[in-house]
Amino acid sequence: MQQNKWLLQEFNKEKIHSLAQETNLPDIVVRILSARGISDAESIKEFIYAGKEHLFNPFLLDDMHKAVTRIKQAVEQQEKILIYADRDVDGITSLVILFNTIQTLGGDVVWYIPSDEGYGISKTVLDKYRQMNVKLIITVDCGISSVQEVQYSNELGMQIIVTDHHEPPIDVLPDAYAIVNPKKTTCKYKFKELAGCGISFKVSQALMQTYGRDFDREILVVSLKKTDNGYDAYILKVVNEMVDGETAFSFSDENKKTFYSLLKNKKIISCGDELLFSQDNNEVKIINADVSSAKDLRDAAYIIFEAYKKYELLNDGRMADFFDNNIDFVALGTIADIVPLVSENRILVKNGLEILNNNPAKRFGLYNIINEYLKDKNNISAKAISWSITPVLNAAGRMAKADISAELLLADDKCKADDFFFELKKLNNERKHLQTENIKQFEKNLKEQCDIEKDKIFIVVANNLPHGVTGIVASQIAKLYLRPTILFISDGQFAVGACRSIEGFDMVSALDKIKDLLVKFGGHSQAAGLTVEVSKMDELRRRLKDIAENSISREMVVKKINIDCELKIADINKKTLDSVLLLEPFGSANMNPVFLIKNVELKEVVVMGQTEEHLKLKISQNGGNPVNAVFWHGAGLRQNIQYKDKFDILFNMELNRDSIQVSIIDIKKI
């Protein structure tokens, strides 16, 4: 029977109950968040209640101002703009968001997604678009590692703006006109884990703001306090909703001219005495802000500033429309790219799912996928997108025809959407067949080329297989054996590989140590791609095995399951489930909570499914009423499960249509 390592943290019941009262949340919600390191009232409330007003200012990203002013210039001068995207769902949604934004603003914009060229920018493609008189290229979800290609584009006279979220090269960045990537070492942006579509959304948001009446305008936020002789004031200088300077100032009633000279005809935001500003010709906006709790005038100024930002958010219809018209695509790409669903990502996905569920039919192409592949069309969750929508959209890219998925999402009428969906369904069926064939070949080669018991990293080469699903197969092998896995497909001269890693082993860092052997590489710590000359494969294998041997401990290859909370079977009810659902959307870094129930008896065990690989069970505790449960892919353990024995089980609790579903994750005999 599978023996994974179960990890259950101790907790203080009194502290949990106190936090629950302070945050007005159920104890179980606070317990789960505390188990995940969110253990103070402010952080808990921020996690649960954060809305779009808590999203960070896009201009806080390095090079953002430079990037969007250049894009705006290209739009206004009708320069031809190329959006160069990656071919997965994150790249496609990134493209759709930025393309629609630039087109809405009247820009001359085209797009390209690689087919056979592999990941990143291709010099051949650059040559093609140079002939089409492209002046500006914007990469989305790619480009941060394309040092040589960006240099080549510069030589051709085409400027490049790189927007990406992958790990930057350690040694040198591309010589691009601007690079918008929160993972740059120089970037102080608070949240580093946006997906490519999140970056594209931020760029598009900032671009839209360049057309606002207050763009690049200096605004003064003023807090005031009446004194015996006049006023004390604290002034924040704000540009594009970012504080650019602070000043404390005092003046007498007789010396107001000095105060007015400091204001210099700027736009004034305050919640003080409007009459004080009426003698000057400033534009004044009096904000209803409660500053009674402020420690001092500086604190009051920041309270006024926050109130002003909320006011602008609520009253700027143009930006509200932009948000609603793009946020569902951000949710789609963010979920697909398996980035952490915390902080901004959680806000973006939560709002995007709400928009999508309210009116899925407005997206003609996406609605076709929902109707065809989703069982519960009234509940488009992060899980539904991850399991049912992402694989279909990714199928086109895996078959080197990602433009089909892009066209589907861009389709502005039902007839177009239907035509592209017909093509996508065919590609998805081809992808499934290709995946089956590749799994068979790579599993055979794995046993021949690797020592499954001793190797700490699996490096497997297959010859002349069709490309497209290597990453899926690598992911399956990595999860099954808990080993970093690199699968290559060789054409005789070059081998193109897909990498999937395990917790604690940074794949990009490992590849960087052998970059002298590689044609190119890029990606995340847990998923990456690379190309190598076949003649260098033996050396690559030797050096990566050495790196893995020195980096991967025995502890790292044991599957660990973090347990959020221990329950009794009596706790499996609608009230508990409703509490758990407050934590949605679930995904990376915010997984569906894992619960432990001890001392369980099995009342029924039945094999189910067309392939008879699943189990349906009835479980009870201390002679109580039994509860139905399923154990997906658990049939292999059937012979180890005896009715007379007692077990501890780990499970998820989730909504399956209108009923509670208990999905067993692991089981141990006691």
Pairing state of beta strands 458-463 and 283-286? unpaired
Using 70 as the pLDDT threshold, list the residues of the chain that sit under it.
Answer: 1-2, 117-118, 272-276, 278-281
Whole-model pTM over 0.75 = yes
Q: Quick one: tokens of 298?
A: 């500086």
Give Cα separations from 515 to 20, 456, 508, 509, 539 (angstroms): 51, 20, 10, 10, 12
Q: Does domain 218-315 have CATH number 3.30.420?
A: yes
Q: Within 10 Å of residue 51's Cβ, how many Cβ atoms? A: 11
**How far is CA 75 from its chain centroid?**
29
What would be the CATH architecture of the domain defined by 58-209? Alpha-Beta Complex (3.90)
> In this predicted structure, what is the pLDDT of residue 1?
42
Q: Please name which of 524, 518, 529, 487 lies closest in space to residue 505, comparing C-alpha atoms.
A: 524
Contact assessment for residue 394 and residue 381, using Cβ atoms and an 8 Å cutoff: no
Residues, the chain: 670
Strand blocks (E) in 552-613: 560-563, 565-566, 595-608
Fold (CATH) for 5-49+561-669? OB fold (Dihydrolipoamide Acetyltransferase, E2P) (2.40.50)
Distance CA 354, CA 381 (A): 9
> In this predicted structure, what is the pLDDT of residue 634?
86
Contact assessment for residue 614 and residue 607, using Cβ atoms and an 8 Å cutoff: yes
Q: Within 10 Å of residue 132's Cβ, how many Cβ atoms? A: 9
Helix axes 297-315, 317-336, angle to 10 degrees: 90
Distance CA 507, CA 484 (A): 8
Q: What is the 3-state secondary structure (H, E, C) of 291-345?
A: CCCCCCHHHHHHHHHHHHHHHHHHHCHHHHHHHHHHHHHHHHHHHHCCCCCCHHH
> In this predicted structure, what is the pLDDT of residue 645?
78
Q: Please name which of 48, 86, 84 lies closest in space to residue 337, comparing C-alpha atoms.
A: 86
Fold (CATH) for 450-557? Diaminopimelate Epimerase; Chain A, domain 1 (3.10.310)
**How far is CA 2 from its chain centroid?**
32
Alpha-carbon dihedral angle through residues 190, 508, 523, 515, given to the nearest 10 degrees: 130
Q: Please name which of 150, 94, 86, 80 lies closest in space to residue 112, comparing C-alpha atoms.
A: 86
Distance CA 508, CA 504 (A): 12
Pairing state of beta strands 646-656 and 595-608? antiparallel
Domain ranges of the chain: 5-49+561-669, 58-209, 218-315, 450-557
Amino acid type, 595: F
Establish whether the linkage from the previous residue to 169 is cis, with ω within 30° of 0: no
Cα angle for residues 551, 556, 557 (degrees, 5° grid): 110
Give Cα separations from 116 to 32, 444, 452 (angstroms): 45, 26, 32
Distance CA 263, CA 280 (A): 9
Q: What is the pLDDT of residues 152-180, one digit of tens each?
A: 999 999 999 999 999 998 889 999 999 99
Contact assessment for residue 379 and residue 332, using Cβ atoms and an 8 Å cutoff: no
N- to C-terminal Cα distance for the chain?
A: 12
Q: Which stretches of 24-146 are DSSP H helices?
A: 27-35, 41-49, 64-76, 89-104, 123-131
Distance CA 168, CA 156 (A): 24
Distance CA 82, CA 314 (A): 33
Question: Which residue is listed with tokens 């189910």?
Answer: 608
Distance CA 259, CA 220 (A): 12
